Amino acid sequence: MNDELLLKQVSEKAQMWLRDGYDAQTQAQVRAMLENDDKTELIESFYKDLEFGTGGLRGIMGAGSNRMNIYTVGAATQGLANYLKENFKSLEQIKVVVGHDVRNNSRLFAETVANIFSANGIKVYLFEGPRPTPEVSYAIRLLGCQSGVNITASHNPKEYNGYKAYWDDGAQVVSPHDVNIINHVISIKDVNEIKFEGNPDLIEIIGENIDSQYIEQIHTLSLSPDVDKRQHDLKIVYTPIHGVGRYIIPRSIERWGFDNIIHVPEQDVMSGDFPTVESPNPENRSAMEMAIAKAEEVQADIALASDPDADRISVVFKNNKGEYDLVNGNQIQLIFHYYLITRNAELGKLDRDNDYIVKTIVTSETIARIAKKQGIKLYDCYTGFKWIASVMRELEGTSARYLGGGEESYGFLPEDFARDKDSVSSIPLMCEIAAWAKERGQSMNEMLIELYMTYGYSKERGISVVRPGKSGAEEIVNMMKNFRENPQKEIAGSPVVLIKDFLSLEQKDIRSGEVTKLDMPTTSNVLQYYTEDGTKVSIRPSGTEPKIKFYIEVHDKLESAEQYDAKNEWADAKIDRIVKDLGID
């Protein structure tokens, strides 16, 4: 499409936002875009409609069809309401939960959602204030609801907000519901079709009554309560990074018996401006600098963080050099799975015929080695916690027992009574793991090294290539096309022996030429290379952000703890070479 035609289309689309049904402030913002000689903002705001991805609806706040505002939120909610009434028409009363995080406009959007649902005759349980994303999932199941919505952009910068839609099992919507909801949203052609005028009689405010049940349920996950009591004074630094974890996570930690929680006062302030960080992403060391400084000051056993909507966890502990270091997402997954399997085995509770764990296809293959060696069933699924929840849904009601599941992007779920990644349960569990290791005479780092010596060493690095806007989206499409049409023949000197393409659901054995089908529930735009020496490279565009992600994983043996630092240096050098081979340095 040429620039002139694109500008004509977006201008016509923007003119629709100057009609009755849109508020004066929105109209003024749209008019300013139309009158501005620089049409960049106009194009970015209207060249497409926000779509559901792996995390739902997410975008920059502002006026326009490609922005988060009460009208895009309203259309999504009206479409969801229409679909719920169609799908659950036999029910006397359809019920939903609505929650939100601390971001700017989150309360406005949540109240807008609640009003639209209630205007459509749907009963709404609206949280009184900001709550963790996993608590919304928990409340849907607890209250027997058919759906739910959480207003959050997770760890994105402050300019963003988002909309997560959940189904009756407390999980984010998957096929066919996600497609059906979008179709219902698309069918809304006029803003006047959205029922903004709420029915207060159908909106019930919830809060502490759910909080207390949630915290008590989480405490049932403890596998070492006696250890927790003996190690009650474990030095734990915790920061919510200005998010919703501020009140509920310290309560959850204390319920497990730990009473030495050291705060980062500046980051206890709940604020959508996230004033102490450039971006509230706990994957980034910059977001954890204040927690690391506090850990150094008090010589903490462990430092932990939750992201703004308290679904993801960040972990810091001392490395071999005695320096506090950020643990990567794959290592977090390894530690959780290692502990849950090992501790259940110690207690005689491990049922190798029925217990299972779940990971995503881009998460460390060392987890698969742990599962294989321990005789535990492992399920691999797509990126996005809705797919982990989908496995849980399929096995619910059978003899199978869920031990835990997670993904490399710092999310873990150790329970089955919620169906989204959960830092409210993961953080006290990680405290228990630190206490358990300490009782065994180990630091967390020593425990991690022991794990690598037992199950094999691996190191992973995630690289995100950001390409914002329309031109960026086109560039990402072309990058994926090139990796498919011109696949790598070798990576860091090792021949590629297997290629998995989840868009075609085919895998090709390079040496034999044999092509076989991949057993997955649907297609996904993910490409994977496997080399002869065990290296795995996964490539996928993000479903929620304007970037393409590369997941690089290398493997080797670790024969002694003394080799660990040298092995890390070897792995870093190898990954650097892989980055150059892929042309993304």
Condensed to tens digits (0 to 9), the pLDDT of residues 165-208 reads: 999 999 999 888 888 888 898 898 899 999 999 999 999 999 99
**Alpha-carbon distance 471 to 467, whole Å?**
8
* pLDDT at residue 50 greater than cutoff 60: yes
SS3 state at 135: helix
SS3 state at 236: strand
Query: Residue 51: its pLDDT value, please?
Result: 77
The backbone region for 493, taken as left when phi is positive above 0, alpha when psi lies in -120 to 50, beta otherwise, is left
* pLDDT at residue 55 greater than cutoff 60: no
* pLDDT at residue 53 greater than cutoff 60: no
Q: For the residues 482-497, what does the mean pLDDT come to?
A: 96
* pLDDT at residue 259 greater than cutoff 80: yes
Pairing relation of β-strands 236-239 and 261-263?
Answer: parallel
**Alpha-carbon distance 409 to 85, whole Å?**
35
The backbone region for 95, taken as left when phi is positive above 0, alpha when psi lies in -120 to 50, beta otherwise, is beta
Q: Which CATH class is domain 48-206?
A: alpha beta
Query: Residue 573: its pLDDT value, please?
Result: 98
Both ends of the chain: CA-CA distance in Å?
Answer: 31
Decide if 135 contacts 210 (C-beta within 8 A): yes
**Alpha-carbon distance 436 to 228, whole Å?**
8
Residue burial 402-418, b: 16+ Cβ < 10 Å; e: rest: bbbbbbbbbbbbbbbbb
Query: Residue 186: its pLDDT value, please?
Result: 84
**Alpha-carbon distance 77 to 55, whole Å?**
16
CATH T-level assignment (fold) for domain 457-582: TATA-Binding Protein (3.30.310)
Query: Residue 585: its pLDDT value, please?
Result: 72
Q: For the residues 491-499, what does the mean pLDDT come to?
A: 97
Query: Residue 544: its pLDDT value, please?
Result: 63
Q: For the residues 328-345, what does the mean pLDDT come to?
A: 98
SS3 state at 409: coil
Please state the pTM of the whole predicted model.
0.95
Query: Residue 175: its pLDDT value, please?
Result: 84
**Alpha-carbon distance 38 to 24, whole Å?**
22
For residue 469, what pLDDT band results from cuts at 50, 70 and 90?
confident
**Alpha-carbon distance 45 to 62, whole Å?**
8
Question: Cα dist. 412→60, 359, 409, 459 in Å?
Answer: 27, 9, 9, 19
* pLDDT at residue 52 greater than cutoff 70: no
Q: For the residues 262-285, what does the mean pLDDT come to?
A: 96
Query: Residue 117: its pLDDT value, please?
Result: 98
User: What is the maximum span of the chain, computed from C-alpha positions, in angstroms?
Assistant: 72
**Alpha-carbon distance 156 to 561, whole Å?**
37
**Which pLDDT tens digit goes with each residue over 394-443?**
999 999 999 999 999 999 999 999 999 999 999 999 999 999 999 999 99
**Quick one: CA torsion of 203, 204, 205, 206, rounded to 10 degrees?**
-130
Pairing relation of β-strands 160-166 and 506-509?
Answer: unpaired
**Quick one: CA torsion of 36, 37, 39, 41, rounded to 10 degrees?**
-40
Mean pLDDT of the residues in the chain: 95
Query: Residue 183: its pLDDT value, please?
Result: 87
**Alpha-carbon distance 414 to 433, whole Å?**
13
The full 3-state SS of 495-541, as one line of letters, equals: EEEEEEECCCCEEEECCCCCEEECCCCCCCCCEEEEECCCCEEEEEE
Residue 154 among the catalytic residues: yes
Chain region(s) in the chain for CATH 3.30.310: 457-582
SS3 state at 369: helix
* pLDDT at residue 127 greater than cutoff 60: yes
Give the DSSP letter string of 77-132: HHHHHHHHHHHTTTSS--EEEEEE-SSTTHHHHHHHHHHHHHHTT-EEEEESS---
Chain region(s) in the chain for CATH 3.40.120.10: 48-206, 214-455
Query: Residue 68: its pLDDT value, please?
Result: 97
Query: Tokens standing for 440?
Result: 């065994």
**Which pLDDT tens digit goes with each residue over 198-240?**
999 999 999 999 999 999 999 999 999 999 999 999 999 999 9
* pLDDT at residue 54 greater than cutoff 80: no
Q: Which of 118, 154, 224, 443 is flagged as catalytic? A: 154
CATH of domain 214-455: 3.40.120.10
* pLDDT at residue 307 greater than cutoff 90: yes
**Which pLDDT tens digit goes with each residue over 496-544?**
999 999 999 999 999 999 999 999 999 999 999 999 999 999 999 986 6
Give the lowest-confidence range in 74-83, 151-160, 271-280, 466-475.
Answer: 466-475
Amino acid at 230: R
Share of the chain above pLDDT 90, in %: 90
